[in-house]
Amino acid sequence: MTTQRAELLRVLRVATGRLITATARLTDAEAREPSLLPGWSRGHVLTHVARNADAMRNLLSWARDRIETPAYVRADVRDAEIEAGAGRSVDDLRDDVAESAEAFAADAEMLTDAAWRTEVRVLDGPLFRAELLLPRRLTEIELHHTDLGVGYGAADWMPEFAALDLPEPMRSWRDERRGW
pTM beyond 0.75, yes or no: yes
Out of 3.40.50.720, 1.20.120.450, 1.25.60.10, 1.10.510.10, which CATH number does the structure's domain 3-171 have? 1.20.120.450
d(CA 104, CA 18): 17
Tell me the pLDDT tens digit for each residue of 17-41: 999 999 999 999 999 999 999 999 9
Tell me the pLDDT tens digit for each residue of 4-19: 999 999 999 999 999 9
d(CA 104, CA 85): 19
Spans of all domains in the chain: 3-171
CA angle (33, 171, 103) in 5-degree steps: 65
Tell me the pLDDT tens digit for each residue of 75-115: 999 999 999 999 999 999 999 999 999 999 999 999 999 99
Q: Is the pLDDT score of 2 beyond 90?
A: no
Mean pLDDT, the chain, as a whole number? 95
d(CA 43, CA 83): 9
Q: Is the pLDDT score of 1 beyond 80?
A: no
Q: What is the pLDDT of residue 174?
A: 95
Q: What is the pLDDT of residue 124?
A: 85
Q: What is the pLDDT of residue 111?
A: 96
